[in-house]
């Protein structure tokens, strides 16, 4: 009886091994951290200031939360793949990332007709 274990992975072949990619990674990381910081400041200001408790700022806070979600679903995995030689992603990780991205997309359209 032999081992019947199968490993299902996807190869991310579009990512290059260029040395200049390290500079790109640091730039992407910087933009990601600035995005999270800016959106978190927006959400905290809206929650703490009573003058910003109007409908317009509610939707602005909602968009800031969605932007943080979109960035957090995609950017860390992209940076991880940029840094490693093997550019593989398991089927489960890929499905999870797609599910979370589509879940956030559905939050933009809460009312179906």
List the domain boundaries for the chain. Answer: 20-107
The pTM for the full model equals 0.76
Angle between helices 55-83 and 91-107 (to 10 degrees): 160
Report the pLDDT value the prediction gives residue 31, as an integer from 0 to 100: 93
Per-residue exposure over 68-90, b if at least 16 CB sit within 10 Å of its own CB, e if not: bbebebebebebeebeeeebebe
pLDDT tens-digit series, residues 103-112: 888 877 765 5
């Amino acid at each position: 009886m032999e081992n019947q274990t199968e490993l299902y992975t996807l190869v991310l072949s579009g990512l290059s091994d260029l040395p200049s990619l390290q500079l790109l990674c640091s730039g992407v990381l910087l933009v990601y951290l600035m995005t999270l910081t800016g959106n978190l400041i927006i959400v905290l200001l809206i929650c703490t200031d009573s003058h910003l408790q109007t409908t317009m700022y509610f939707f602005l806070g909602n968009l800031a939360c969605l932007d943080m979600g979109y960035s957090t679903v995609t950017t860390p995995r992209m940076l991880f793949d940029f840094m490693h030689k093997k550019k593989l992603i398991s089927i489960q990780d890929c499905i999870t990332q797609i599910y979370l991205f589509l879940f956030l997309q559905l939050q933009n359209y809460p009312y179906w007709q």
